[in-house]
């Protein structure tokens, strides 16, 4: 497999380092893979997905979102779901303009990244041919990492206190992630996007996912897509730590047979 390191800039001029993996032999298509909220292109989960894709004969590009955790120009505390989607749009536009691009286009994502690729497929129904959704986020109502409304109230309180202290004393504080991200996230619900996405979809659940949704919730989501397959990897955590090989094999098998 050939590996190329690239640099892409988003619409605001921010750098997004990218890695292109090209399999040996005929290339069946191109996959654009988006990491999750606190993820990056070289995260073990993302690398496992990319490896499974490449073994199925597709070239795959991974990248660091402009305001993601490890973006070189990132403002991580201001990252939003909308920003992730815009970055993905810019990467897809870049990829499709390159002489090495090979149709068809397949999109893949982990966690928040999976939510974003579903939204993109809904917005561009004739452009995408397949979706790979790994431990997809769904909505604030399915969040498992804690009580979402409790987070909002706590965050609002923290921001209020810090803002008051900044005004009174001139002190500078690093504001928490949640205000911009949470209120933007409230606009998205993958369950509403799913019925409009008619391409084949693979939904992979982590059996012990304590972050985005239980496998039963992913099963219900799968049923909302016109063409979708649901696979559960037992005992896996949200990032599939120590289950990367099972994840990669699941993806290879589905892409090879679909």
Write the DSSP assignment of 43-104 as a string of letters. Answer: SHHHHHHHHHHHHTT-EEEEE--TTSTT-TT--GGG--HHHHHHHHHHHHHHHHTSTT--SS
**Cβ atoms of 142 and 218 closer than 8 Å:** no
Closest by CA to 49, choosing from 258, 211, 194, 239, is: 239
Per-residue pLDDT tens digits for 242-255 = 999 999 999 999 99
**φ, ψ of residue 33 in degrees (nearest 5):** -115, 125
Q: Taking residues 202-210, what's their average pLDDT? A: 95
Q: How much is the pLDDT for 180?
A: 74
Could you tell me the pLDDT band of residue 174, with boundaries at 50, 70 and 90?
very low
Query: Quick one: residue 170, left, alpha or beta (phi over 0 = left, psi -120 to 50 = alpha)?
Result: left
Q: How much is the pLDDT for 74?
A: 87
Per-residue pLDDT tens digits for 43-98 = 999 999 999 999 999 999 999 999 988 889 988 778 899 999 999 999 999 999 99
Q: How much is the pLDDT for 4?
A: 96
Strand partners, 22: 2
Cα 131 to Cα 128, 152, 251, distances in angstroms: 8, 31, 11
Cα 1 to Cα 29, 55, 212, distances in angstroms: 15, 9, 33
Tell me the pTM.
0.87
Q: How much is the pLDDT for 157?
A: 59
Closest by CA to 45, choosing from 206, 216, 190, 203, is: 206
**Cβ atoms of 62 and 134 closer than 8 Å:** no
DSSP 8-class letter at 210: -
Could you tell me the pLDDT band of residue 6, with boundaries at 50, 70 and 90?
very high
Per-residue pLDDT tens digits for 121-155 = 999 999 999 999 999 999 877 765 545 555 555 55
**Cβ atoms of 221 and 151 closer than 8 Å:** no
Q: Taking residues 18-35, what's their average pLDDT? A: 96
Cα 94 to Cα 36, 149, 195, distances in angstroms: 21, 38, 28
Rg (CA), the chain: 18
Q: How much is the pLDDT for 152?
A: 57
């Amino acid at each position: 497999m050939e590996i190329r390191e690239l640099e892409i800039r988003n619409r605001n001029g921010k750098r997004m380092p990218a890695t292109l993996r090209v399999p040996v032999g005929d290339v069946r298509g191109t996959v654009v893979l988006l990491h999750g909220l606190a993820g990056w292109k070289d995260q073990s989960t993302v690398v496992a997905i990319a490896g499974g894709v490449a073994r199925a004969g597709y070239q795959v590009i991974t990248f660091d979102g402009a305001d993601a955790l490890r973006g070189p120009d990132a403002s991580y505390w201001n990252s939003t779901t909308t920003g992730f989607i815009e970055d993905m749009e810019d990467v897809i536009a870049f990829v499709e303009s390159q002489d090495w691009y090979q149709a068809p286009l397949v999109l893949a994502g982990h966690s928040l990244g999976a939510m974003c690729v579903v939204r993109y497929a809904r917005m561009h129904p004739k452009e995408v041919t397949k979706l790979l959704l790994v431990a997809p986020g769904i909505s604030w109502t399915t969040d498992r990492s804690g009580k979402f409304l409790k987070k909002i109230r706590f965050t609002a309180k923290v921001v209020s206190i810090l803002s008051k202290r900044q005004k009174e004393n001139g002190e500078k504080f690093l504001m928490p992630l949640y205000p911009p991200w949470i209120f933007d996230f409230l606009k998205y619900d993958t369950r509403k996007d799913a019925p409009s996405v008619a391409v084949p979809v693979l939904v992979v659940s982590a059996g012990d996912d304590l972050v985005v949704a239980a496998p039963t919730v992913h099963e219900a989501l799968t049923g909302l897509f016109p063409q979708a397959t649901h696979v559960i990897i037992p005992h896996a955590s949200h990032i599939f730590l120590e289950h990367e090989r099972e994840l990669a094999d699941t993806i290879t098998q589905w892409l090879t047979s679909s």
